[in-house]
Amino acid sequence: MSPSNQLVNSFESRIKPLLEVIYPEADIEQLAAHLLQLLHPHCSDSGEENPDKWNEQQILLITYGDSIYRQGDQKPLVTLKQFLEHYLQDTITGVHILPVCPYSSDDGFAIIDYLQVNPELGSWEDIKSIAQPFDLMLDLVLNHVSSKSAWFEQFKQGLKPGCNYFIDVDPTTDLSQVVRPRSSPLLVKVDTVNGEKHVWATFSDDQIDVNFANPDLLVEYVKILLFYVVNIGANYIRLDAVGYLWKCIGSSCIHLPETHVLIRLMRELLQLVDPGVVIITETNVPNRENLSYFGNGNEAHIIYNFSLPPLLLNALLQGKSEHLKTWMMSMPPAPMGCAYLNFTASHDGIGLRPAEGLLSDDEYETLLECVTQFGGEISYRRQPDGTESPYEINIALFDAMKGTVKGEDKWQIQRFICSQTIMMSLEGIPAFYIHSLLGTGSDRALMQQTGRKRSINRHRWDIEELERELEQVNSPHAIVFRELSRLIQIRRLQQAFHPNATQYTLHPSNQALLVFWRQSMKRDQSIFSIHNLSDKPQTLPLLKLNLIATDKWYDLISGQNISDIHDTFKLQPYQSAWITNKFGKDS
């Protein structure tokens, strides 16, 4: 069957102009025809953007396929599904399963084969089983592949297609302007049948960058993309480390124009297949650079709020809202059809580059000192001048909340829950790293075992041990999990917490308080999100909120009625409140 006229017209008007920008010297007619042939069997009827991809219900969980396992023969993906269905069926709506493919390093991000599942985890059928009750996010690691991949073996043997998929650079070339996320050498020496080569490797000598300047490589990744969406049922595609995708010697090789056009191209292609699929870009960089991945509302559907984790951690360590509020006020509402992804912790550390220019030098140094005191580590990156600077904090977020700048104290659990409540109150879609939801501490033993600092926040739970902890009423894990689950379920009922609902930052004179206002798209619900960032009780005159006297006001979290809008609202250390005039979606 030939492609419909509508599909052909879409390629002519939407796809070919982008290909012409990226590949001005390629045979665009042939390339477009090849892509059209790939997409044709899977295209939707309309191919138009779906404006309703998310609402206040969306809550994502971030986890490795083996973050929870069962002793014996059961595959971890089976165990994960059992845990999700038993404990989180009514709490989360989606699951980001971190790389599931066979890999050689970096806990999955050095992929050997994109179309296979690591047999130690399970199978594609196990993943599709998880995708039935939950929205599924999969990683497309498209900046690099494993040095053990078939493509790179072909490169070393001088065989097609892999011999044309990598970037061979003369080692005398001046690459000093290249922005680095690591301290490892940028070029890796490789012995090939054609002699010694030096190939580009942004992240490690086992993660070899691929060459997107070759349009044949684009076709390969479109095939992978279609497999994840059409065959596996992924609703979200996370473009890992996408900022480094395009290389141009003499430039910074980050955020180049071709990279942005490639993201837009992938969005357009997926829109023709399934208008409900979401593209999310992973760019752990300063805030202004991160925002650029929305494009003009035509690139990423979702970007990570990378500045939130370090700023929120700093606010709770310092006990003041100053820098967090400044950042919140500077953040533009997400463009139409786009959203932020809010998170406080992930499988990686807490990135420091997104806090550049947002913290004072003294507070920055104090932040590093605090987390080191609480058992954390600091990872570094190499600057263009050869010096090294802090890149990320490696610590379980629960342990980062052990105390404040004054040292450890008794408020760890309350402080941690406050951090998560702030995160899920902000404009955007909340995403909980599984170890935050479970209140998992730093795994220094695993870090020492692997020799990698990031392992400190990648604990693996034996399901039986975890269930014993969750059944103990006074276990910190049970307290955190129980309370966060309760708060999430309350949040999901509030239209004022739609990812694109209005947000306005308020300015009480008390810097220990963080106060902001959310209003539903229909303007029929307001929520004043109030948080005590300190270890002392605080008060807030309710007149500061300008509550409407004719409405009834109520704290969704504590259940407290506001009987007098002229009264003073009292908050215990690290207490949060959601004061609203509407008790939920169905009220």
Per-residue pLDDT at 1 exceeds 60: no
Alpha carbon 176 to its chain's center: 29
Q: Residue range 366-387: average pLDDT?
A: 91
Query: Once rounded to an integer, what is the mean pLDDT over residues 486-505?
Result: 97
Length of the chain: 587
Residue of 299 and 12 predicted with greater confidence = 299
Separation of alpha carbons 567 and 509, rounded Å: 17
Please check the confidence at residue 584 and state whether its pLDDT lies above 70: no
CB atoms within 10 A of CB 386: 7
Question: What was the pLDDT predicted at 4?
Answer: 77
Q: Is 574 left (phi over 0), alpha (psi -120 to 50) or beta?
A: left
158/154 Cα distance (integer angstroms): 6
Tally the C-alpha atoms within 13 A of residue 102's C-alpha that lie toward its C-beta. Answer: 9
Residues 77/98, Cβ–Cβ less than 8 Å: no
The answer to whether 38 and 272 are in contact (CB under 8 A) is: no
Distance, CA of 259 to CA of 245 (rounded, Å):
6
Strand order from edge to edge, sheet including 388-394:
350-351, 388-394, 377-382
Statement: residue 22 has pLDDT above 50: yes
Q: What local confidence, expressed as pLDDT, does residue 419 receive?
A: 98
Q: What is the DSSP string of 416-461?
A: HHHHHHHHHHSSSEEEEEHHHHTT----HHHHHHHT-GGGGG---E
pLDDT for 586 equals: 47
Domains plus CATH for the chain? 501-580 (2.60.40.1180)
The predicted structure's pLDDT at residue 587: 40
Q: For residues 209 and 244, is the Cβ–Cβ distance under 8 A?
A: yes
pLDDT grade for 44, boundaries at 50, 70 and 90:
confident
Pick left, alpha or beta for residue 548 (phi over 0 → left; psi -120 to 50 → alpha; otherwise beta). Answer: beta
Minimal CA–CA distance to 36: which of 65, 58, 15?
A: 15
pLDDT digits (tens, 9 = 90+) for 273-320: 999 999 999 999 999 999 999 999 999 999 999 999 999 999 999 999
Q: Could you say which of 66, 139, 209, 240 is catalytic?
A: 240
Mean pLDDT of the chain: 95
Catalytic: 361?
no
Rounded to whole angstroms, the Cα distance separating 526 from 518 reads: 6
Phi-psi group of 407: left, alpha or beta (phi > 0 → left; psi -120 to 50 → alpha; rest → beta): left
Closest CA to 279 of 296, 259, 258, 294: 294
Residues that constitute the known binding site for substrate:
106, 144, 238-240, 347-348, 454
Asked if the bond preceding 161 is cis, omega within 30° of 0, the reply is yes
88-142 pLDDT tens trace: 999 999 999 999 999 999 999 999 999 999 999 999 999 999 999 999 999 999 9
**pLDDT of res. 585:** 58
d(CA 580, CA 481): 24
Q: What is the pTM of this model?
A: 0.96
Here the tokens at position 132 are 């039935």
Of residues 317, 92, 525, the one with CA closest to residue 83: 92
Q: 2 pLDDT exceeds 80? A: no
Percent residues over pLDDT 90 in the chain: 90
CA torsion sign, 81 to 456 to 328 to 507? positive
DSSP state of 111: B
Dump pLDDT digits (tens) for 434-458: 999 999 999 999 999 999 999 999 9
pLDDT tens digits, one per residue of 407-428: 999 999 999 999 999 999 999 9
pLDDT of residue 6: 81
**For 7, phi and psi rounded to 5 degrees?**
-70, -45
How far apart are the C-alpha atoms of 181 and 355, rounded to whole Å? 15
3-state secondary structure 462-521: EHHHHHHHHHCCCCHHHHHHHHHHHHHHHHCCCHHHCCCCEEEECCCCCCCEEEEEEECC
Cα–Cα nearest to 533, from 431, 429, 407, 401 = 401
Does the structure show a pLDDT above 80 at 386?
no
pLDDT tens track for 157-189: 999 999 999 999 999 999 999 998 888 999 999
What is the secondary structure of 117-138 as a DSSP string? Answer: --TTT--HHHHHHHHTTSEEEE
pLDDT of 86 strictly over 50: yes
CA 483, CA 417: separation in Å to the nearest integer?
8
What is the C-alpha to C-alpha distance for residues 190 and 176, in angstroms, rounded to an integer? 21
Determine which helix (DSSP H) or strand (DSSP E) holds 378, and give its type and residue range. strand 377-382
What's the pLDDT band for 75 if we cut at 50, 70, 90?
A: very high
What is the DSSP track for 345-367? --SS-EESGGGTTTS-HHHHHHH
Locate 38 and state its tokens. Answer: 């790939």
pLDDT given for residue 435 in this prediction: 98
